[in-house]
Structure 1
Amino acid sequence: MSNTALPPLVLHYIFDPLCGWCYAAAPLVKAARGVPGLTVQWHAGGMLTGSHRRTITPDWRDHVIASDRRIAEMTGQPFGQAYFDGLLGDIGAPLDSEPPTTALLAAEELGGKGLEMLSREQQAHYVEGRRISEPAVLRELAADIGLDAAAYDAAYARMTGAATQKHIAESRQWLGMVQGQGFPTLALEFDHPEQRDQRAVQRIDIGPWLGDVPGWTAQLAEWARQVGELGNGAEGQGPDAGACGPDGCELPQR
Protein backbone atom coordinates (compact mmCIF):
# COMPACT_ATOMS: atom_id res chain seq x y z
CA MET A 1 0.00 0.00 0.00
CA SER A 2 1.54 3.27 -1.10
CA ASN A 3 1.87 6.08 1.44
CA THR A 4 1.46 8.87 -1.12
CA ALA A 5 -0.35 11.89 0.37
CA LEU A 6 -1.70 9.92 3.34
CA PRO A 7 -1.73 11.22 6.93
CA PRO A 8 0.89 9.68 9.25
CA LEU A 9 -1.72 7.76 11.27
CA VAL A 10 -5.18 6.75 10.02
CA LEU A 11 -7.84 4.99 12.07
CA HIS A 12 -10.10 3.01 9.76
CA TYR A 13 -13.58 2.48 11.20
CA ILE A 14 -15.68 -0.24 9.53
CA PHE A 15 -19.25 -0.22 10.80
CA ASP A 16 -22.96 -0.22 10.04
CA PRO A 17 -25.51 2.42 11.11
CA LEU A 18 -27.86 -0.32 12.39
CA CYS A 19 -25.20 -2.20 14.36
CA GLY A 20 -25.64 -2.03 18.13
CA TRP A 21 -21.99 -2.72 18.91
CA CYS A 22 -21.01 0.09 16.55
CA TYR A 23 -23.16 2.33 18.74
CA ALA A 24 -21.19 0.92 21.68
CA ALA A 25 -17.97 2.04 19.97
CA ALA A 26 -19.28 5.51 19.12
CA PRO A 27 -17.64 7.25 22.13
CA LEU A 28 -14.28 5.76 21.12
CA VAL A 29 -14.64 7.01 17.54
CA LYS A 30 -15.64 10.46 18.78
CA ALA A 31 -12.61 10.59 21.07
CA ALA A 32 -10.30 9.45 18.26
CA ARG A 33 -11.32 12.44 16.17
CA GLY A 34 -9.79 14.70 18.79
CA VAL A 35 -6.38 13.01 18.96
CA PRO A 36 -3.68 15.18 17.32
CA GLY A 37 -1.86 13.50 14.48
CA LEU A 38 -4.64 10.98 13.80
CA THR A 39 -7.25 10.96 11.02
CA VAL A 40 -10.43 8.84 11.13
CA GLN A 41 -11.60 7.29 7.86
CA TRP A 42 -14.97 5.56 7.89
CA HIS A 43 -16.30 2.63 5.88
CA ALA A 44 -19.98 1.61 6.05
CA GLY A 45 -20.21 -2.12 5.38
CA GLY A 46 -23.89 -2.68 4.56
CA MET A 47 -24.79 -5.18 7.27
CA LEU A 48 -28.51 -5.23 6.40
CA THR A 49 -28.56 -4.83 2.63
CA GLY A 50 -29.62 -6.95 -0.31
CA SER A 51 -30.92 -10.32 0.82
CA HIS A 52 -30.07 -9.39 4.43
CA ARG A 53 -32.63 -6.57 4.60
CA ARG A 54 -35.29 -7.35 7.16
CA THR A 55 -38.09 -5.89 9.25
CA ILE A 56 -38.58 -5.77 12.98
CA THR A 57 -40.18 -8.94 14.29
CA PRO A 58 -40.74 -10.29 17.81
CA ASP A 59 -37.76 -12.61 17.30
CA TRP A 60 -35.55 -9.70 16.24
CA ARG A 61 -36.61 -7.72 19.29
CA ASP A 62 -35.73 -10.62 21.58
CA HIS A 63 -32.41 -11.05 19.79
CA VAL A 64 -31.21 -7.46 20.15
CA ILE A 65 -32.67 -6.33 23.44
CA ALA A 66 -30.34 -8.39 25.63
CA SER A 67 -27.33 -7.21 23.63
CA ASP A 68 -28.46 -3.59 23.85
CA ARG A 69 -28.87 -3.77 27.61
CA ARG A 70 -25.36 -5.21 27.89
CA ILE A 71 -24.01 -2.36 25.76
CA ALA A 72 -25.69 0.15 28.05
CA GLU A 73 -24.15 -1.49 31.13
CA MET A 74 -20.65 -1.71 29.61
CA THR A 75 -20.42 1.70 28.00
CA GLY A 76 -23.07 3.97 29.46
CA GLN A 77 -24.48 4.58 25.99
CA PRO A 78 -28.10 5.74 26.31
CA PHE A 79 -31.03 3.74 24.97
CA GLY A 80 -34.40 5.47 25.05
CA GLN A 81 -37.78 4.09 26.02
CA ALA A 82 -38.91 5.19 22.57
CA TYR A 83 -36.47 2.59 21.25
CA PHE A 84 -37.14 -0.27 23.67
CA ASP A 85 -40.91 0.21 23.96
CA GLY A 86 -41.55 1.93 20.65
CA LEU A 87 -39.33 1.01 17.71
CA LEU A 88 -38.58 -2.54 18.83
CA GLY A 89 -42.30 -3.11 19.11
CA ASP A 90 -42.98 -1.56 15.71
CA ILE A 91 -43.51 -4.86 13.94
CA GLY A 92 -42.81 -4.50 10.23
CA ALA A 93 -40.59 -1.42 10.53
CA PRO A 94 -37.81 -1.64 7.89
CA LEU A 95 -34.22 -2.46 8.80
CA ASP A 96 -32.25 -1.55 5.70
CA SER A 97 -28.67 -0.23 5.97
CA GLU A 98 -28.54 1.20 2.47
CA PRO A 99 -30.60 4.42 2.93
CA PRO A 100 -28.71 5.56 6.07
CA THR A 101 -25.43 4.74 4.33
CA THR A 102 -26.48 6.86 1.35
CA ALA A 103 -27.25 9.66 3.79
CA LEU A 104 -23.76 9.34 5.29
CA LEU A 105 -22.18 9.64 1.85
CA ALA A 106 -24.33 12.68 1.06
CA ALA A 107 -23.35 14.33 4.33
CA GLU A 108 -19.69 13.57 3.71
CA GLU A 109 -19.89 15.15 0.28
CA LEU A 110 -21.44 18.26 1.84
CA GLY A 111 -18.51 19.37 3.95
CA GLY A 112 -17.16 16.14 5.44
CA LYS A 113 -20.06 15.57 7.84
CA GLY A 114 -20.41 11.82 7.46
CA LEU A 115 -19.52 11.00 11.06
CA GLU A 116 -21.76 13.79 12.34
CA MET A 117 -24.59 12.25 10.36
CA LEU A 118 -23.78 8.82 11.74
CA SER A 119 -23.98 10.13 15.29
CA ARG A 120 -27.35 11.73 14.54
CA GLU A 121 -28.64 8.52 12.95
CA GLN A 122 -27.58 6.45 15.95
CA GLN A 123 -29.24 8.87 18.37
CA ALA A 124 -32.41 8.85 16.29
CA HIS A 125 -32.48 5.05 16.22
CA TYR A 126 -31.35 4.04 19.70
CA VAL A 127 -32.66 6.95 21.76
CA GLU A 128 -35.56 8.43 19.81
CA GLY A 129 -36.82 5.19 18.30
CA ARG A 130 -37.10 6.54 14.76
CA ARG A 131 -37.03 4.64 11.47
CA ILE A 132 -33.66 5.62 10.07
CA SER A 133 -34.12 3.32 7.07
CA GLU A 134 -36.72 5.75 5.70
CA PRO A 135 -35.43 8.59 3.46
CA ALA A 136 -37.92 11.10 4.90
CA VAL A 137 -36.52 10.58 8.40
CA LEU A 138 -32.96 10.85 7.12
CA ARG A 139 -33.80 14.15 5.47
CA GLU A 140 -34.92 15.52 8.83
CA LEU A 141 -31.73 14.28 10.48
CA ALA A 142 -29.64 15.99 7.80
CA ALA A 143 -31.35 19.26 8.62
CA ASP A 144 -30.59 18.67 12.31
CA ILE A 145 -26.83 18.70 11.60
CA GLY A 146 -27.14 21.89 9.57
CA LEU A 147 -27.23 20.59 6.00
CA ASP A 148 -29.13 22.64 3.45
CA ALA A 149 -32.23 20.72 2.40
CA ALA A 150 -31.85 21.28 -1.35
CA ALA A 151 -28.15 20.47 -1.33
CA TYR A 152 -28.76 17.35 0.74
CA ASP A 153 -31.55 16.16 -1.55
CA ALA A 154 -29.29 16.54 -4.57
CA ALA A 155 -26.37 14.77 -2.89
CA TYR A 156 -28.61 11.97 -1.64
CA ALA A 157 -29.92 11.44 -5.17
CA ARG A 158 -26.36 11.29 -6.55
CA MET A 159 -25.28 8.78 -3.93
CA THR A 160 -28.34 6.53 -4.17
CA GLY A 161 -27.87 3.16 -5.83
CA ALA A 162 -24.55 2.49 -7.57
CA ALA A 163 -22.47 4.96 -5.53
CA THR A 164 -23.68 3.53 -2.23
CA GLN A 165 -23.23 -0.04 -3.39
CA LYS A 166 -19.68 0.76 -4.55
CA HIS A 167 -18.88 2.23 -1.14
CA ILE A 168 -20.26 -0.86 0.61
CA ALA A 169 -18.24 -3.17 -1.64
CA GLU A 170 -15.05 -1.22 -0.93
CA SER A 171 -15.81 -1.25 2.82
CA ARG A 172 -16.15 -5.03 2.72
CA GLN A 173 -12.82 -5.21 0.92
CA TRP A 174 -11.30 -3.28 3.81
CA LEU A 175 -12.96 -5.66 6.26
CA GLY A 176 -11.42 -8.62 4.48
CA MET A 177 -8.02 -6.99 4.15
CA VAL A 178 -7.72 -6.38 7.89
CA GLN A 179 -9.24 -9.81 8.63
CA GLY A 180 -12.16 -8.32 10.49
CA GLN A 181 -14.90 -10.68 11.57
CA GLY A 182 -17.78 -8.21 11.62
CA PHE A 183 -18.89 -4.78 12.74
CA PRO A 184 -17.39 -2.74 14.23
CA THR A 185 -13.82 -3.34 13.09
CA LEU A 186 -11.10 -0.75 13.67
CA ALA A 187 -7.60 -0.75 12.23
CA LEU A 188 -4.64 1.62 12.25
CA GLU A 189 -2.69 2.46 9.11
CA PHE A 190 0.77 4.02 9.30
CA ASP A 191 4.11 4.14 7.53
CA HIS A 192 5.81 0.76 7.54
CA PRO A 193 8.87 0.98 9.83
CA GLU A 194 11.03 -1.16 7.57
CA GLN A 195 9.70 -0.31 4.09
CA ARG A 196 9.30 3.44 4.11
CA ASP A 197 7.46 3.56 0.76
CA GLN A 198 4.76 1.24 2.09
CA ARG A 199 2.01 1.42 4.69
CA ALA A 200 1.29 -1.07 7.48
CA VAL A 201 -2.24 -1.86 8.65
CA GLN A 202 -3.07 -3.45 11.99
CA ARG A 203 -6.49 -4.40 13.29
CA ILE A 204 -7.24 -3.27 16.85
CA ASP A 205 -9.20 -5.22 19.45
CA ILE A 206 -11.29 -2.45 21.00
CA GLY A 207 -12.87 -4.72 23.61
CA PRO A 208 -10.59 -3.57 26.46
CA TRP A 209 -11.56 0.07 25.84
CA LEU A 210 -15.33 -0.18 25.55
CA GLY A 211 -16.48 2.10 28.34
CA ASP A 212 -12.95 3.42 28.92
CA VAL A 213 -12.65 6.52 26.76
CA PRO A 214 -9.74 8.08 28.74
CA GLY A 215 -7.67 4.89 28.43
CA TRP A 216 -8.45 4.61 24.72
CA THR A 217 -7.54 8.24 24.11
CA ALA A 218 -4.25 7.86 25.95
CA GLN A 219 -3.36 4.76 23.93
CA LEU A 220 -4.16 6.47 20.61
CA ALA A 221 -2.10 9.49 21.65
CA GLU A 222 0.83 7.19 22.44
CA TRP A 223 0.57 5.47 19.06
CA ALA A 224 0.40 8.88 17.36
CA ARG A 225 3.52 9.94 19.26
CA GLN A 226 5.37 6.80 18.17
CA VAL A 227 4.36 7.30 14.56
CA GLY A 228 5.48 10.93 14.78
CA GLU A 229 8.89 9.85 16.05
CA LEU A 230 9.18 7.33 13.25
CA GLY A 231 8.35 10.03 10.73
CA ASN A 232 11.09 12.20 12.21
CA GLY A 233 13.66 9.48 11.61
CA ALA A 234 13.91 7.98 15.07
CA GLU A 235 15.36 4.49 14.92
CA GLY A 236 13.45 1.60 16.47
CA GLN A 237 10.35 3.69 17.05
CA GLY A 238 6.83 3.45 15.73
CA PRO A 239 3.83 1.50 16.94
CA ASP A 240 4.99 -1.72 15.36
CA ALA A 241 8.78 -1.43 15.61
CA GLY A 242 10.33 -4.86 15.16
CA ALA A 243 6.94 -6.61 15.06
CA CYS A 244 6.05 -6.82 11.37
CA GLY A 245 5.37 -10.18 9.80
CA PRO A 246 3.72 -11.57 6.69
CA ASP A 247 0.22 -11.05 8.14
CA GLY A 248 0.67 -7.49 9.33
CA CYS A 249 2.28 -5.45 12.07
CA GLU A 250 1.50 -5.76 15.74
CA LEU A 251 0.82 -2.73 17.89
CA PRO A 252 1.94 -2.69 21.51
CA GLN A 253 -0.95 -2.12 23.88
CA ARG A 254 -1.18 -1.31 27.53
Structure 2
Amino acid sequence: MRKTLYYIYDPLCGWCYGAGGAVQALADSTDIALQMLPSGLFSGEGARPMSEDFAAYAWSNDQRIEQLTGQRFTERYRHEVLTDNQQMFDSAPATLALTAVALTARSREGHALKAIQQARYVDGLDITQPGTLASLLHALGLEDAAKLLAQPDASLIAANSARIAQAQALLAQFGARGVPAFIVEMNGHRQLMSSNAALSNPQTFVDQLAAA
Protein backbone atom coordinates (compact mmCIF):
# COMPACT_ATOMS: atom_id res chain seq x y z
CA MET A 1 0.00 0.00 0.00
CA ARG A 2 1.26 3.46 -0.83
CA LYS A 3 2.56 5.52 2.06
CA THR A 4 1.68 9.14 2.81
CA LEU A 5 4.30 11.46 4.23
CA TYR A 6 3.21 14.64 5.97
CA TYR A 7 5.96 17.22 5.63
CA ILE A 8 5.50 20.03 8.14
CA TYR A 9 7.52 23.14 7.34
CA ASP A 10 7.78 26.90 7.59
CA PRO A 11 8.94 28.94 4.56
CA LEU A 12 11.25 31.00 6.82
CA CYS A 13 12.80 27.95 8.49
CA GLY A 14 16.44 27.61 7.45
CA TRP A 15 16.49 23.93 8.37
CA CYS A 16 13.48 23.36 6.10
CA TYR A 17 15.49 24.98 3.31
CA GLY A 18 18.31 22.61 4.21
CA ALA A 19 15.94 19.65 3.85
CA GLY A 20 15.12 20.68 0.27
CA GLY A 21 17.09 17.82 -1.27
CA ALA A 22 15.12 15.23 0.66
CA VAL A 23 11.81 16.91 -0.15
CA GLN A 24 12.68 16.90 -3.86
CA ALA A 25 13.62 13.21 -3.70
CA LEU A 26 10.33 12.46 -1.98
CA ALA A 27 8.37 14.43 -4.55
CA ASP A 28 10.02 12.34 -7.28
CA SER A 29 9.15 9.05 -5.56
CA THR A 30 6.18 7.18 -7.02
CA ASP A 31 5.76 5.08 -3.86
CA ILE A 32 5.25 7.95 -1.42
CA ALA A 33 2.43 10.50 -1.46
CA LEU A 34 3.82 13.77 -0.16
CA GLN A 35 1.43 16.07 1.69
CA MET A 36 2.90 19.43 2.65
CA LEU A 37 1.58 21.40 5.61
CA PRO A 38 2.80 24.83 6.81
CA SER A 39 3.23 25.07 10.57
CA GLY A 40 2.69 28.81 11.01
CA LEU A 41 5.72 28.73 13.33
CA PHE A 42 7.03 32.16 12.34
CA SER A 43 3.71 33.88 11.69
CA GLY A 44 1.27 35.54 14.04
CA GLU A 45 2.75 35.48 17.54
CA GLY A 46 5.83 33.77 16.12
CA ALA A 47 6.72 36.76 13.91
CA ARG A 48 9.29 39.28 15.12
CA PRO A 49 11.20 42.38 14.01
CA MET A 50 14.64 41.88 12.52
CA SER A 51 17.32 43.03 14.98
CA GLU A 52 21.11 42.94 14.94
CA ASP A 53 21.21 40.22 17.59
CA PHE A 54 18.65 38.07 15.80
CA ALA A 55 20.40 38.59 12.46
CA ALA A 56 23.70 37.45 13.97
CA TYR A 57 22.03 34.39 15.46
CA ALA A 58 20.30 33.57 12.16
CA TRP A 59 23.49 33.91 10.12
CA SER A 60 25.42 31.66 12.53
CA ASN A 61 22.67 29.07 12.29
CA ASP A 62 22.56 29.40 8.50
CA GLN A 63 26.28 28.60 8.29
CA ARG A 64 25.72 25.36 10.20
CA ILE A 65 22.91 24.43 7.83
CA GLU A 66 25.02 25.16 4.76
CA GLN A 67 27.92 23.09 6.09
CA LEU A 68 25.65 20.12 6.82
CA THR A 69 23.37 20.22 3.78
CA GLY A 70 25.23 22.11 1.06
CA GLN A 71 22.35 24.55 0.61
CA ARG A 72 23.60 28.08 -0.17
CA PHE A 73 23.13 31.14 2.03
CA THR A 74 24.67 34.03 0.11
CA GLU A 75 26.28 37.26 1.22
CA ARG A 76 23.54 39.02 -0.73
CA TYR A 77 20.96 37.42 1.55
CA ARG A 78 23.02 38.39 4.57
CA HIS A 79 23.21 42.05 3.56
CA GLU A 80 19.84 42.54 1.83
CA VAL A 81 17.69 40.55 4.26
CA LEU A 82 19.36 40.14 7.63
CA THR A 83 20.55 43.75 7.88
CA ASP A 84 17.17 45.20 6.87
CA ASN A 85 15.68 46.31 10.18
CA GLN A 86 12.50 47.40 8.39
CA GLN A 87 11.82 43.83 7.26
CA MET A 88 9.82 41.63 9.61
CA PHE A 89 10.74 38.01 10.23
CA ASP A 90 7.22 36.89 9.38
CA SER A 91 6.27 33.83 7.35
CA ALA A 92 2.54 34.65 7.14
CA PRO A 93 2.65 36.13 3.59
CA ALA A 94 4.72 33.26 2.17
CA THR A 95 2.54 30.71 3.95
CA LEU A 96 -0.56 32.26 2.40
CA ALA A 97 1.10 32.18 -1.03
CA LEU A 98 1.86 28.47 -0.64
CA THR A 99 -1.71 27.76 0.40
CA ALA A 100 -2.84 29.55 -2.77
CA VAL A 101 -0.61 27.15 -4.71
CA ALA A 102 -1.99 24.17 -2.79
CA LEU A 103 -5.54 25.19 -3.73
CA THR A 104 -4.86 25.81 -7.41
CA ALA A 105 -1.95 23.50 -8.33
CA ARG A 106 -1.34 21.17 -5.42
CA SER A 107 1.44 19.18 -7.07
CA ARG A 108 3.45 22.39 -7.50
CA GLU A 109 3.64 23.39 -3.82
CA GLY A 110 7.11 21.89 -3.44
CA HIS A 111 8.39 23.81 -6.45
CA ALA A 112 6.86 27.03 -5.15
CA LEU A 113 8.41 26.53 -1.71
CA LYS A 114 11.83 25.94 -3.28
CA ALA A 115 11.51 29.09 -5.38
CA ILE A 116 10.50 31.17 -2.36
CA GLN A 117 13.38 29.80 -0.30
CA GLN A 118 15.91 30.46 -3.05
CA ALA A 119 14.54 33.96 -3.56
CA ARG A 120 15.34 34.71 0.07
CA TYR A 121 18.50 32.76 0.82
CA VAL A 122 20.23 33.07 -2.56
CA ASP A 123 18.81 36.19 -4.26
CA GLY A 124 18.27 38.24 -1.10
CA LEU A 125 14.67 39.18 -1.93
CA ASP A 126 12.08 40.24 0.63
CA ILE A 127 9.60 37.36 0.60
CA THR A 128 7.52 39.03 3.30
CA GLN A 129 6.10 41.27 0.56
CA PRO A 130 3.01 40.03 -1.33
CA GLY A 131 4.26 41.71 -4.53
CA THR A 132 7.51 39.74 -4.43
CA LEU A 133 5.61 36.51 -3.83
CA ALA A 134 3.16 37.22 -6.65
CA SER A 135 6.06 37.83 -9.05
CA LEU A 136 7.61 34.51 -8.05
CA LEU A 137 4.33 32.69 -8.66
CA HIS A 138 3.96 34.35 -12.06
CA ALA A 139 7.50 33.29 -12.97
CA LEU A 140 6.58 29.69 -12.14
CA GLY A 141 3.49 29.86 -14.34
CA LEU A 142 1.22 29.68 -11.30
CA GLU A 143 -1.11 32.41 -12.53
CA ASP A 144 -4.20 31.22 -10.64
CA ALA A 145 -2.29 31.16 -7.36
CA ALA A 146 -0.87 34.62 -8.03
CA LYS A 147 -4.38 36.00 -8.69
CA LEU A 148 -5.70 34.37 -5.53
CA LEU A 149 -2.85 35.82 -3.48
CA ALA A 150 -3.42 39.30 -4.95
CA GLN A 151 -7.02 39.26 -3.71
CA PRO A 152 -7.27 36.79 -0.81
CA ASP A 153 -10.84 35.65 -0.25
CA ALA A 154 -12.53 33.86 2.63
CA SER A 155 -11.87 30.43 1.14
CA LEU A 156 -8.11 31.07 0.93
CA ILE A 157 -7.97 32.41 4.49
CA ALA A 158 -9.98 29.44 5.78
CA ALA A 159 -7.85 26.91 3.91
CA ASN A 160 -4.67 28.54 5.21
CA SER A 161 -5.91 28.39 8.80
CA ALA A 162 -7.01 24.77 8.38
CA ARG A 163 -3.63 23.69 7.02
CA ILE A 164 -1.79 25.36 9.88
CA ALA A 165 -4.18 23.83 12.42
CA GLN A 166 -3.63 20.35 10.95
CA ALA A 167 0.14 20.81 11.05
CA GLN A 168 0.10 22.00 14.65
CA ALA A 169 -2.16 19.13 15.69
CA LEU A 170 0.26 16.62 14.17
CA LEU A 171 3.24 18.27 15.86
CA ALA A 172 1.43 18.15 19.20
CA GLN A 173 0.33 14.54 18.70
CA PHE A 174 3.90 13.34 18.28
CA GLY A 175 5.58 15.84 20.58
CA ALA A 176 7.65 17.11 17.67
CA ARG A 177 9.80 20.11 18.47
CA GLY A 178 9.90 22.53 15.60
CA VAL A 179 10.26 21.95 11.89
CA PRO A 180 11.05 20.32 9.55
CA ALA A 181 8.96 17.40 10.76
CA PHE A 182 8.16 14.26 8.79
CA ILE A 183 5.29 11.94 9.74
CA VAL A 184 4.66 8.80 7.70
CA GLU A 185 1.24 7.14 7.52
CA MET A 186 0.40 3.65 6.29
CA ASN A 187 -2.60 1.43 7.01
CA GLY A 188 -3.93 4.02 9.45
CA HIS A 189 -0.72 4.05 11.49
CA ARG A 190 1.40 7.17 11.79
CA GLN A 191 5.05 7.41 12.78
CA LEU A 192 7.35 10.38 13.34
CA MET A 193 10.55 10.09 11.32
CA SER A 194 13.89 11.53 12.41
CA SER A 195 14.87 14.46 10.20
CA ASN A 196 18.63 13.90 10.64
CA ALA A 197 19.11 11.93 7.43
CA ALA A 198 16.83 14.32 5.54
CA LEU A 199 19.38 17.03 6.23
CA SER A 200 22.63 15.11 5.79
CA ASN A 201 21.78 12.38 3.24
CA PRO A 202 18.49 12.77 1.35
CA GLN A 203 18.64 9.39 -0.40
CA THR A 204 19.27 7.60 2.89
CA PHE A 205 16.21 9.36 4.28
CA VAL A 206 14.07 8.18 1.35
CA ASP A 207 15.38 4.63 1.86
CA GLN A 208 14.57 4.78 5.58
CA LEU A 209 11.10 5.99 4.76
CA ALA A 210 10.58 3.15 2.29
CA ALA A 211 11.54 0.67 5.00
CA ALA A 212 9.47 2.29 7.76
TM-score, normalised to structure 2, is 0.91
CA contact (8 A) 2:50 2:82 kept: yes
**Equivalent residue for 2:208?**
219
- Provide the C-alpha distance between the structure 1 equivalents of 2:102 and 2:156, rounded to a whole number of angstroms: 14
Counterpart mapping for 1:169-248 below 5 A: 169-191=165-187, 199-220=188-209, 222-223=210-211, 239=212
Q: CA deviation at 1:160?
A: 5.0
**Equivalent residue for 1:52?**
46
Distance 1:116 1:11, change over 3 A: same
Q: What is the CA deviation profile of residues 97-154 of structure 1, one whole-angstrom value per residue up to 9, with x for unaligned ones?
A: 1111110011122222221111111001111111111100100110121112xx3344
Gaps spanning 5+ residues in structure 2: where?
A: none
Distance 1:174 1:127, change over 3 A: same
Q: Determine whether 1:82 maps to 2:71.
A: no
- Provide the C-alpha distance between the structure 2 equivalents of 1:210 and 1:10, rounded to a whole number of angstroms: 20
- How many percent of aligned residue pairs carry the same amino acid? 29
Gaps spanning 5+ residues in structure 1: where?
A: 1-6, 192-198, 224-238, 240-254
**Equivalent residue for 1:123?**
118
**Equivalent residue for 2:36?**
42
Distance 1:56 1:214, change over 3 A: same
Q: Determine whether 1:31 maps to 2:20.
A: no
- Provide the C-alpha distance between the structure 2 equivalents of 1:185 and 1:49, rounded to a whole number of angstroms: 17
- Provide the C-alpha distance between the structure 1 equivalents of 2:12 and 2:198, rounded to a whole number of angstroms: 21
Bigger proportion of residues as helix: 2
How large is the RMSD of aligned CA atoms in angstroms? Answer: 1.7
CA contact (8 A) 2:22 2:203 kept: no
- Provide the C-alpha distance between the structure 2 equivalents of 1:29 and 1:181, rounded to a whole number of angstroms: 19
- Provide the C-alpha distance between the structure 2 equivalents of 1:200 and 1:26, rounded to a whole number of angstroms: 26
CA contact (8 A) 2:180 2:195 kept: no
Distance 1:25 1:166, change over 3 A: same
Counterpart mapping for 1:64-83 below 5 A: 64-83=58-77
Q: What is the CA deviation profile of residues 61-94 of structure 1, one whole-angstrom value per residue up to 9, with x for unaligned ones?
A: 1111111000000010011221112211111212
> What SS does the aligned partner of 1:14 have?
strand
Distance 1:208 1:37, change over 3 A: closer
Q: Give the aligned residue type for 1:101.
A: T
Q: Give the aligned residue type for 2:113.
A: L
CA contact (8 A) 2:137 2:146 kept: no
CA contact (8 A) 1:178 1:201 kept: no
Q: CA deviation at 1:179?
A: 2.1
> What SS does the aligned partner of 1:188 have?
strand
**Equivalent residue for 1:142?**
137
The number of aligned residues is 208
Q: Determine whether 1:14 maps to 2:8.
A: yes
Q: Give the aligned residue type for 2:62.
A: D
Q: CA deviation at 1:200?
A: 0.5
Q: CA deviation at 1:22?
A: 0.8
Q: Give the aligned residue type for 2:25.
A: A
Q: CA deviation at 1:210?
A: 1.8
> What SS does the aligned partner of 1:33 have?
helix
CA contact (8 A) 2:7 2:36 kept: yes
> What SS does the aligned partner of 1:146 have?
coil
